[in-house]
């Protein structure tokens, strides 16, 4: 099993090289848009696309043979993703081109890369630090993506295949409860409060609403300016979410690595559709739908794999309603021992933070999965309610 790591490296580019890269990037994106407009939308096979328009791409845009093939592969991939989401492929924006091993190469002895442009092959020195050198050392990358950023700098995003370390054997499990009041709360008591994050997101929401109102009226130039600001605002909020999720996932995986523990996480697939069926205000729906919990799970998965930490997904049913001390659930389905951030068990009397209780329940379920022949969980309930704890959980990765 291998893991693909993307290493972003800045290129040292001269003025003459910059002109060649700009010409290549423009030709690549123009070719993508031409293929999208002049081939049937239902064609999603790269080989068929290549047979339809390979010669035309080379003649119209001056791309090399392999760059023309990359256009077809990129277009095929975009259409497959769009088909899954039941929407057409939109126009591509400039500033990127994909490369494979035939038109891209990395040389470790002088830390340079060689790229094919519309005017031939060019070699570029990498302006990188210790982290990039550690990731690239001893590697033989086969693919990369050339990107031009808004500030005019050029980056090569190199895909490196690495064999992750063997996952550590352990009977310890750290449970992680995800939510909106606390973005994440671990069974060890560490939590990341979401109140400040909610204030930032509410600020973005108010600003976005004001810009949308202005974008619907006013002069042509003011409407265009508002649309540009909305696009920048969207990118800023997206980067903010990714930054927070990176910090949380890094801290959790680092702690699991130090304590030789596995990580148990709720499998929240489909949670958005389920909670949206509940009657809630517009603001509550926006807050619940806008935070990227799936992105946090993805970050945890790939960081845990790189660190050799086992990640276990457990079913979320009743984890927040079950007492971690006695495994008891309120016998009345319409009631719960949890009230907001507080949890008070009516069976054993335990009282404390509800998210910490949920994280401990997740850790217990994760321990059952991690040690299938070890301790097991059981709970006897009065009345007609079905048992709360079941162990259809899986190891992630």
Kindly report, residue by residue over 224-248, the tens digit of the pLDDT: 888 778 777 777 778 888 888 999 9
Grouping H, G, I as helix, E, B as strand and the rest as coil, residue 127 is strand
> Is the model's pLDDT at 265 over the cut of 80?
yes
> Is the model's pLDDT at 377 over the cut of 80?
no
Q: What is the DSSP letter of 59?
A: H
Q: Which of 5-14, 112-121, 135-144, 196-205 has the lowest mean pLDDT?
A: 196-205
Please report, for residues 32, 61, 186, 230, 338, the alpha-carbon distance to residue 251 in angstroms, rounded to integers and kept in the order given: 40, 47, 11, 32, 27
Q: Which residues contact 361 (CB under 8 A, 6 or more apart)?
A: 175, 319, 320, 322, 324
% the chain with pLDDT above 70: 87
Range 353-376 average pLDDT: 80
Q: Where are the domains of the chain?
A: 3-162, 173-193+248-395
> Is the model's pLDDT at 197 over the cut of 90?
no
Q: For residue 383, name the pLDDT band (cuts at 50, 70, 90).
A: very low
Strand pairing category for 262-266 and 311-314: parallel
> Is the model's pLDDT at 136 over the cut of 90?
yes
Q: Which residues contact 81 (CB under 8 A, 6 or more apart)?
A: none
What pLDDT, on a 0 to 100 scale, did the predictor assign at position 284?
Answer: 55
Grouping H, G, I as helix, E, B as strand and the rest as coil, residue 353 is strand
What pLDDT, on a 0 to 100 scale, did the predictor assign at position 70?
Answer: 96
CB 301 within 8 A of CB 396: yes
Supply the pTM of this predicted model.
0.74
Q: What is the DSSP letter of 89?
A: P
Give the helix/strand (H/E) hosting 192: strand 191-193
Q: Compute the distance between CA of residue 18 and CA of residue 148 in angstroms, rounded to an integer.
A: 10
Q: Compute the distance between CA of residue 31 and CA of residue 97 in angstroms, rounded to an integer.
A: 11
What pLDDT, on a 0 to 100 scale, did the predictor assign at position 340?
Answer: 82
CB 202 within 8 A of CB 189: no
Q: Compute the distance between CA of residue 213 and CA of residue 227 in angstroms, rounded to an integer.
A: 11
Range 32-61 average pLDDT: 94
> Is the model's pLDDT at 384 over the cut of 90?
no
Grouping H, G, I as helix, E, B as strand and the rest as coil, residue 85 is coil
Neighbours of 32 (CB within 10 A): 25
> Is the model's pLDDT at 359 over the cut of 80?
yes
Which residue matches tokens 């304590």? 259
Helix 195-215, helix 220-258: angle, nearest 10:
160
Mean pLDDT of the chain: 84
Range 304-325 average pLDDT: 89
> Is the model's pLDDT at 281 over the cut of 70?
no
What pLDDT, on a 0 to 100 scale, did the predictor assign at position 388?
Answer: 41
Q: Compute the distance between CA of residue 86 and CA of residue 108 in angstroms, rounded to an integer.
A: 43
Q: CA nearest 106: which of 74, 69, 133, 130?
A: 133
What pLDDT, on a 0 to 100 scale, did the predictor assign at position 347?
Answer: 85
What pLDDT, on a 0 to 100 scale, did the predictor assign at position 373?
Answer: 52
> Is the model's pLDDT at 391 over the cut of 60?
no
Range 369-396 average pLDDT: 48
Range 335-340 average pLDDT: 85
> Is the model's pLDDT at 145 over the cut of 90?
yes
* Two tokens, residue 140: 């033989």
> Is the model's pLDDT at 303 over the cut of 60?
yes
* Residue 191 vs residue 340, higher pLDDT: 191
What pLDDT, on a 0 to 100 scale, did the predictor assign at position 272?
Answer: 54
> Is the model's pLDDT at 320 over the cut of 50?
yes
Q: Compute the distance between CA of residue 188 and CA of residue 301 in angstroms, rounded to an integer.
A: 20
What pLDDT, on a 0 to 100 scale, did the predictor assign at position 380?
Answer: 44
Q: What are phi and psi of 358, to 5 degrees?
A: -65, -40
* Residue 218 vs residue 289, higher pLDDT: 218
* Two tokens, residue 8: 């972003």
Helix, strand, coil shares of the chain as percentages rounded to 5? 45, 20, 35
% the chain with pLDDT above 90: 49
């Amino acid at each position: 099993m291998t893991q693909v790591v993307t290493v972003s490296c800045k290129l040292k580019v001269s003025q003459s090289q910059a002109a060649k890269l700009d010409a290549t990037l423009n030709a690549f994106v123009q070719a993508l848009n031409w293929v999208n407009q002049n081939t049937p939308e239902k064609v999603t096979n790269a080989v068929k696309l290549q047979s339809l328009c390979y010669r035309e791409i080379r003649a119209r845009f001056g791309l090399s043979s392999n760059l023309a093939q990359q256009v077809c592969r990129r277009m095929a991939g975009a259409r497959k993703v769009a088909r899954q989401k039941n929407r057409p492929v939109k126009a591509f924006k400039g500033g990127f081109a994909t490369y494979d091993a035939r038109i891209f190469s990395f040389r470790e002895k002088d830390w340079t890369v060689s790229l094919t442009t519309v005017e031939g092959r060019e070699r570029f020195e990498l302006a990188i630090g210790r982290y990039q050198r550690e990731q690239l050392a001893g590697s033989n990358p086969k693919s990369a993506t050339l990107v031009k950023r808004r500030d005019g700098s050029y980056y090569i995003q190199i895909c490196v295949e690495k064999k992750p370390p063997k996952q550590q054997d352990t009977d310890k499990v750290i449970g992680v409860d995800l939510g909106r009041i606390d973005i994440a709360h671990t069974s060890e008591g560490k939590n990341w409060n979401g109140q400040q994050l909610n204030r930032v997101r509410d600020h973005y929401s108010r600003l976005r609403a004001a810009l949308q109102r202005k974008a619907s009226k006013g002069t042509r130039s003011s409407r265009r300016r508002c649309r540009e600001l909305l696009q920048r605002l969207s990118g800023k909020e997206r980067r903010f979410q990714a930054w927070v999720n990176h910090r949380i996932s890094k801290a959790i995986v680092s702690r699991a690595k130090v304590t030789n523990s596995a990580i148990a996480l709720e499998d929240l697939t489909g949670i958005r559709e389920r909670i949206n069926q509940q009657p809630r205000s517009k603001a509550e729906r926006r807050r619940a739908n806008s935070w990227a919990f799936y992105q946090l799970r993805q970050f945890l998965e790939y960081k845990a794999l790189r660190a050799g930490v086992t990640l276990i997904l457990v079913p979320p049913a009743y984890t927040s309603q079950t007492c971690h001390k006695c495994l008891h659930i309120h016998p009345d389905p319409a009631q719960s021992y949890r009230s907001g951030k507080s949890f008070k068990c009516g069976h054993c009397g335990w009282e404390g933070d509800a998210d910490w209780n949920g994280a401990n329940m997740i850790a217990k379920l994760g321990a059952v999965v991690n040690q299938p022949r070890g301790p097991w969980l059981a709970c006897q309930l009065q009345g007609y309610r079905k048992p709360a704890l079941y162990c259809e959980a899986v190891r992630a990765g």
